[in-house]
Amino acid sequence: MSAKNDIATPAQVPAIPGSEPSPFSPDLVKEIAMDIGKAVAAHIETMYPAAVAAAGKNMLLSVRNCTHNEIMAALETTDEDAIRRRLAERKLHRRRSKAAWKKIRDQDVSSDPVED
């Protein structure tokens, strides 16, 4: 546990109650993140086969890698204030990104924007 505030970080929580916590190796954390990414991709493939068929197999690879990368980025710090800032920034980014993509998709693209 952290001497600063006696709060256990995820890597310090013991797997077996009463045992001493030990930090996970970076390679193990990467494997866990990749496994979660693969599980999310498998869930999407199982539950939404029509979406996968329409988007192609690269979508599943993208989902897997995005999930892995987000988990790895989230574990870069154990500082609660930094985590809360990151969560707020991510929420704002998703909102703005979604609005921008909606605006792009709603535009009329039936006419050629470049005139000869």
Task: Quickly tell me which residue has 């993208």 as its tokens.
Answer: 62
Task: Return the SS3 of 49.
Answer: helix
Cα-based distances in Å from 80 to 20, 29, 94: 23, 20, 21
The predicted structure's pLDDT at residue 26: 87
Read off the pLDDT of residues 11-57 as tens digits, 9 standing for 90 and up. Answer: 555 556 666 666 788 899 999 999 999 999 999 999 999 999 999 87
The predicted structure's pLDDT at residue 16: 64
DSSP state of 12: G
What is the pLDDT confidence band of residue 70, given thresholds at 50, 70 and 90?
very high
Instruction: Judge whether residue 9 has pLDDT over 60.
Output: no
Query: Cα-flanking dihedrals φ and ψ of residue 21, to 5°?
Result: -70, 145
pTM of the predicted protein model: 0.67
How many other C-beta atoms lie within 10 A of the C-beta of residue 101? 10
**Separation of alpha carbons 71 and 36, rounded Å:** 9
More reliable by pLDDT, 75 or 44: 44
Instruction: Judge whether residue 4 has pLDDT over 70.
Output: no
The predicted structure's pLDDT at residue 1: 44
Mean pLDDT of the chain: 84
Instruction: Judge whether residue 80 has pLDDT over 50.
Output: yes
